[in-house]
């Protein structure tokens, strides 16, 4: 702490951000994990690209990496898709009953 005005404004801004997260009922733990692991993952990606001489296909084309990327994409796409199909199933009987 250097008792500067910038430190005070950073504290106030962080407090407002935290208050907003609490009011919107957003869990801050994914943000903390991202702030901790983000630089480490960036450094590792940079090292991998250096070893692969900048060729993305050498990194992404490996079976383990491709399967992990596929699982990650599935984890992003599946919840909205499941939610949409549940809404359609729930709305289906109501629409057919109103038509009779």
For residue 65, what are the contacts with CB-CB under 8 A and spacing of at least 6?
59
Residues 3 and 49 in one domain: yes
12: containing domain? 1-53
Residues 7 and 44 in one domain: yes
Helix (H) or strand (E) holding 31, with range, is helix 29-51
Residues 2 and 49 in one domain: yes
Q: What's the total number of domains in the chain?
A: 2
Residues 22 and 47 in one domain: yes
Residues 73 and 99 in one domain: yes
Residues 5 and 46 in one domain: yes
Tens-of-pLDDT digits for all 100 residues of the chain? 678 889 999 999 999 999 999 999 988 888 889 999 999 999 998 998 999 898 888 888 889 989 999 999 999 999 888 888 888 888 876 555 555 4
Please give the structure tokens belonging to residue 54: 């900048």
Rounded to an integer, what distance in angstroms lies between the CA atom of residue 88 and that of residue 82? 10
Residues 66 and 35 in one domain: no
Residues 17 and 44 in one domain: yes
Which of the 8 DSSP states describes residue 28? S
| C-alpha distance across the termini of the chain, in Å | 72
């Amino acid at each position: 702490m250097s008792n500067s005005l910038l430190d005070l404004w950073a504290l106030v801004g962080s407090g407002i951000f935290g208050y907003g997260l609490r009011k919107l009922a957003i869990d801050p733990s994914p943000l903390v994990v991202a702030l901790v692991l983000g630089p480490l993952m960036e450094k590792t990606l940079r090292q991998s690209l250096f070893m692969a001489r900048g060729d993305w296909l050498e990194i992404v084309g490996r079976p383990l990496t491709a399967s992990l990327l596929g699982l990650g994409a599935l984890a992003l796409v599946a919840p909205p898709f499941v939610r949409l199909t549940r809404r359609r199933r729930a709305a289906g009987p109501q629409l057919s009953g109103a038509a009779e």
